[in-house]
């Protein structure tokens, strides 16, 4: 069965960095585009970034452009989100999801940016 498992969340100070990982199983990871989506506490869903299966196409939300970097390692069935210059408003649960339709989501990992 398809599984997506995020890790790497935690508490970080404003201006700090964090790297999230998403490990995929149950499908041919290298065939699928992937996205990161986040949800601030008590708020709605916000798409963050998207990467094609070969990493040749990458898109970012304006709110994270220049600070976040999405990447993938198909050999390791893994998706990453490098987050730099973190701000308080980046505090959220971060989900990875399989593209096409966002038909499968991970359980999410909480990132808290606070001093």
Partner 1 sequence: QSVLTQPPSVSGTPGQRVTISCSGSGSNIGSNFVYWYQQFPGTAPKLLIYRNNQRPSGVPDRFSGSKSGTSASLAISGLRSEDEADYYCAAWDDSLKVFGTGTKVTVL
DSSP-assigned states of every residue in 48-60:
EEEE-TTS--EEE
With tokens 């971060």, the residue in question is: 94
Candidates 21, 23, 52, 63: give the one binding partner 1 (CB under 8 A): 63
Residue 115 Cβ vs partner 1, minimum distance, rounded to whole Å: 25
Q: How far apart (Å, rounded) are the C-alpha atoms in residues 2 and 70?
A: 21
The reply to whether 5 sits near partner 1 by the rule CB under 8 A is no
The closest alpha carbon to 38, from 112, 113, 84, 91, belongs to: 91
Q: How is residue 77 annotated by DSSP?
A: T
Under 8 Å CB-to-CB from 5, ≥6 apart: which residues? 22, 23, 25, 106, 107
Task: Specify the residue, 55 or 102, whose C-beta has the smaller distance to partner 1.
Answer: 102
Does 54 help bind partner 1 (rule: CB under 8 A)?
no
Q: Which stretch binds partner 1 (CB under 8 A): 9-17, 19-27, 71-79, 105-113?
A: 105-113
Distance CA 80, CA 87 (A): 19
Give me 93's structure tokens: 């649960």
Contact call for residue 73 and partner 1 (CB under 8 A): no
Choosing from 17, 30, 107, 114, the residue that interacts with partner 1 (CB under 8 A) is 107
Q: Which of residues 22-51 bind partner 1 (CB under 8 A)?
A: 35, 37, 44-47, 50
Residues that bind partner 1 (CB under 8 A): 35, 37, 44-47, 50, 59, 61-63, 95, 101-108
């Amino acid at each position: 069965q398809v599984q997506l498992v995020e890790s790497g969340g935690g508490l970080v100070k404003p201006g700090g960095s964090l790297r999230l990982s998403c490990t995929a199983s149950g499908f041919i990871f290298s065939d699928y585009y992937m996205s990161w989506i986040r949800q601030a506490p008590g708020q709605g869903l916000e798409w963050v970034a998207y990467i094609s299966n070969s990493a040749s196409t990458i898109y970012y939300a304006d709110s994270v452009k220049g600070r976040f970097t999405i990447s993938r390692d198909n050999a390791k069935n893994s998706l990453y989100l490098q987050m730099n210059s973190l701000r308080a408003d980046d505090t959220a649960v971060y989900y990875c999801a399989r593209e096409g339709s966002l038909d499968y989501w991970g359980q999410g990992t909480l990132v808290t940016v606070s001093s």
